[in-house]
Amino acid sequence: EVQLVQSGAEVKKPGESLKISCKASGYNFINFWIGWVRQMPGKGLEWMGIIYPSDSDTRYSPSFQGQVTFSADKSISTAYVQWRSLKASDTAMYYCARGQTGTIAFDIWGQGTMVTVSS
């Protein structure tokens, strides 16, 4: 079964760092993009960016450039998004999704990781 399984919910304080993961299984991890999408409480979907695990080619949304860092470990078919210094405004659900080359249609989604940043 093709699936993406994300790491569990996190509760952090402002200024702390965080790295959440997205483990792929059931397909060749290096042949598809992995995208990250933010959904703030009660709000719509926001595209954060994508990474191509084969060569770590990365594209960031202007809104997230410099705020997060994407990475991927081909040896364990896992993608990551990392924050160096969290803010309360980073509180949101974060989804990873598999992106088809060309259309960047996200056909497989992870279950989401809820990140809460509060003092």
Partner 1 sequence: QSVLTQPPSASGTPGQRVTISCSGSSSNIGSNTVNWYQQLPGTAPKLLIYKNDQRPSGVPDRFSGSKSGTSASLAISGLQAEDEADYYCAPWDDSLSGVVFGGGTKLTVL
Give the x/- contact pattern for partner 1 in 79-98, rule: CB under 8 A. Answer: ----------------x-x-
Q: Which 41-70 positions form the footprint of partner 1 (CB under 8 A)? A: 44-47, 49-50, 59-62
- Distance of closest approach, residue 25 Cβ to partner 1, in angstroms: 16
Phi (first) and psi of residue 36, to 5 degrees? -120, 135
Which residue has tokens 């056909």? 107
Which residue has tokens 């200024």? 15
Contacts of 103 (CB under 8 A, 6+ apart): none
Binding region for partner 1 (CB under 8 A): 35, 37, 44-47, 49-50, 59-62, 95, 97, 100, 103-107, 109-112
